[in-house]
Chains A and B, each alone.
Chain A
Amino acid sequence: MTVAAAEDPVKLSEFEARLERGETIEPKDWMPEKYRKQLIRMMSQHAHSEVVGMLPEGNWITRAPSLRRKMVLLAKVQDEGGHGLYIYCGTETLGVGREELIEQLLAGKAKYSSIFNYPTLTWADIGVIGWLVDGAAIVNQTMLAKTSYGPYARAMIRICKEENFHKRQGYEICSVMAKGTPAQRAMVQDAVNRWWWPSLMMFGPSDGTSPNSAELMRWRVKRETNDALRQRFVNLTIPQAQAIGLTVPDPDLRYNAETENWEFGAIDWSEFQAVIAGNGPCNRERLAARRKAHDEGAWVRAAAEAHADKQAARNSEHAA
């Protein structure tokens, strides 16, 4: 794709007309370079988030408190790896390979969801991540299932189904703990207190300050604004918290009967910016863990390649 082609006004207006008609864009279709770049950025961030997201939850697989919980968590972490793989394959349709994207991640150049830079301190965190973090992800991804790029939209439909299962199991963990012993109730309330605000930040900056929103909306990559999605998430979540007797750490929270919205207090965007900039509680640990896995796996990948080459050579000898 050349820059000249991307700037071709005729092609661009045809492209925008297609979006206007609600058509999806497929890999072989012409698309503006900026559209391709935005998609690669979003999809790679998403894939990286799935992969890095295996770490905070993986932290509790070996300590899950029952065999059933262990199995559900294993299945969940496995799903996340699968989502990562699936979306990396999606970016390949846009001309970028997984290896290149992973290098960007490990070099600290590519972003992943800031939420995974917070530590999982107790078993309740596993419940709260499922309920709040996956809950927020579903709100976001339900919108992305209607995104204008076909492969991403189709991936999202499948991913949303699994995320719904993750959210349900997370909420169930919270609900069981909230009905449990005083120590369990304290544990789950503490986890909600720690994860609530970072979950709200998952939708990204406010509409006014989001650098990419306008363009993404115009090209129907995103169908709704960060603030609208955040409000929907809060409206969905507060009744769920109430149903199991948990509170969120927001003294300004109140229900507005007129707008039917749960109005919430101000988000501390300085914390969000700090985490995005790499200074969250676990940024360094997360990247170090991924780098370690990657570096220590180098000989395995080299071996697989060497063996495949040997096999190919043997096969061609047989054929000859």
Chain B
Amino acid sequence: MTEARAQAAIAAGVAPTGPTAGVAGNPLFEYLCRMGDDRLVLGHRLSEWAGHAPILEEDIALSNFALDFVGQAAALLKLAGEVEGKGRDEDALAYHRDENEFRNVLLVELPRGDFAFTMVRQYLFDAFDVLALERLVKSRHEVLAGIAAKALKEAKYHARHSGEWVVRLGDGTEESHRRTQAALDALWSYPSEFFVADGVDAAMVEQGIGLDLPSLKAPWEITVRETLTRATLTVPNDPRIVRGGRLGRHSEHLGHMLAQMQILPRSHPGAQW
């Protein structure tokens, strides 16, 4: 597929190839998978810290955040399965989709890195999450609005926690500053993918269900830059094009993560756990 055709496919909200072709007929399903997958994958990455964090309080906090995100993912994917109407529940969607059927942004699937990398990534996501959920609580879709309302409380707490860590690490020691700046340099281009709207998003805005993603970019930048300034960090100029996750084109990392996450249900078809 050429880049031009891919762009056209993005604009039309059509997944270009693969087993999810045809979701254009059901943008809400696609939309819910995007939200659910972001949270499932990020929750998984956070859960990798359990027992290995720098302080016991963070073992607890990161497990708790992982739990929040997996919980949100379960609710969203359950709803996605109902909307799809093909008998797939949240576990079928989490454990029996292939890598190219996942719809998360690339930011969340990157390996967890060091604590600075995890916290910067988390803050970049959390700052977006709060803004997005504040709008989604007004969604015309009542179940989605309900999920968003519950998630918003959690997201505000996450953003405060990760934001404070970004400041603490950026404005801490020379080493912590260096590590945090390196994390920011590596990650800065990834959030651009949050704000790319395609046909799916357009349909959701039109139906009063979803939100206008590009309109979140400016408020997100204001919030994030304010925190980064407090953290004494320099905002990088990174012109990389980072996108593809929403269409199932991922980094090299997601496949490894899913291989681990999905191994049991895939090895024992039909078994209940």
Residues of A within 8 A of B (CB): 51, 54-55, 58, 61-71, 74-75, 77-78, 81-82, 84-85, 88, 98, 123, 173, 176-177, 180-181, 183-184, 289, 292-294, 296-307, 310
- Does the CB pair A300–B169 fall under 8 Å? yes
B35 to chain A, nearest CB (A): 15
Max chain A CB contacts within 10 Å: which of B40, B167, B176?
B176
Pick the contact of A300 from B55, B71, B94 — CB < 8 Å? B55
Max chain B CB contacts within 10 Å: which of A51, A173, A307?
A307
A82 to B70, CA, bound (A): 20
Task: Check B272 for interface membership: any CB of A closer than 8 A.
Answer: yes
Task: Check B73 for interface membership: any CB of A closer than 8 A.
Answer: yes
With A58-B50, A299-B179 as known contacts, state yes or no: A69 contacts B60, CB within 8 Å: no
- Does the CB pair A75–B59 fall under 8 Å? no
Residue of A nearest to B116 (CB): A300
- Does the CB pair A307–B171 fall under 8 Å? yes
- Does the CB pair B50–A303 fall under 8 Å? no
What 9 pairs between A and B have smallest CB-CB spacing? A297-B54, A303-B172, A303-B176, A54-B51, A300-B54, A65-B273, A58-B51, A65-B264, A78-B63
Task: Check B16 for interface membership: any CB of A closer than 8 A.
Answer: no
- Does the CB pair B272–A176 fall under 8 Å? yes
Task: Check B205 for interface membership: any CB of A closer than 8 A.
Answer: no
Pick the contact of B54 from A61, A65, A296 — CB < 8 Å? A296
- Does the CB pair B168–A304 fall under 8 Å? yes
Provide the residues of chain B in CB contact with A58, threshold 8 Å: 50-52
A222 to chain B, nearest CB (A): 27
A69 to B50, CA, bound (A): 16
Chain A to chain B contacts (Cβ below 8 Å), 27 pairs:
A58-B50, A63-B260, A63-B263, A65-B265, A67-B77, A67-B91, A70-B47, A71-B71, A71-B74, A74-B63, A74-B66, A74-B67, A75-B67, A78-B64, A81-B59, A81-B63, A82-B60, A84-B56, A98-B56, A123-B264, A181-B271, A184-B271, A289-B52, A293-B52, A299-B173, A299-B179, A302-B176
B81 to chain A, nearest CB (A): 12
Residues of B154-197 whose CB lies within 8 A of A? 167-169, 171-173, 175-176, 179
A306 to chain B, nearest CB (A): 5
